[in-house]
Structure 1
């Protein structure tokens, strides 16, 4: 699944799946996020995220700005290029996920499948060793 999503994103928008994950998380928060909060939200270790952010900053997709809440820290924010990239990439990505996950299922299995995924998600959140994602 990850291979197919990465391939589609690269072909359609030049983004990697890792880029997309970061951009999606940041797209919901105009003020940006602290690196530790972003890492928790996407389920990555901080070191992996730091390397990814460096590459994304070099490509003009993200940048770091001083936090308005705490001047001692910085927030990672989307640039205009980053927002444009996620806006352009999202429709094709959503279409692929729908085609791979949901379209093959008959209507009578969609509800139980969705319920099972929600149950798994709750269980992972409850039993995860990751810090909780910011709310």
Structure 2
């Protein structure tokens, strides 16, 4: 973890919020991907001929919707893979912080008391973890 010395740990509020949102979504991404894949599953044959139900001025294409859903699924899979790699590269104590704070939704004071850390050490480890996520996703 010597490379953290070269990384900017101080993040602005917006970047920090985006990184924390990614940390929180780590556990839910599997369920999101599975449900999106179920939506992609063919329900009926796509018809390329206009039908009576398409009488408006709005353009709608089932094929386009399927492609957009596939792109969203691919994006979520890539995000999940990146987060998994980051999670595995962290220190064990940072993994515990990630699990308790962002996956289980515990408060900061509960987490650093549970892990028997001082509040200063806890916030330093948490700040490093958030900076790593922000750097990996080019948020900063």
Q: TM-score, normalised by structure 2?
A: 0.29
Structure with the greater relative contact order (CA < 8 A, sep ≥ 6): 1 or 2?
2
More strand by share: 1
TM-score (ref. length: structure 1): 0.30
Structure with the greater alpha carbon radius of gyration = 2
Q: Which has the higher helix share?
A: 2
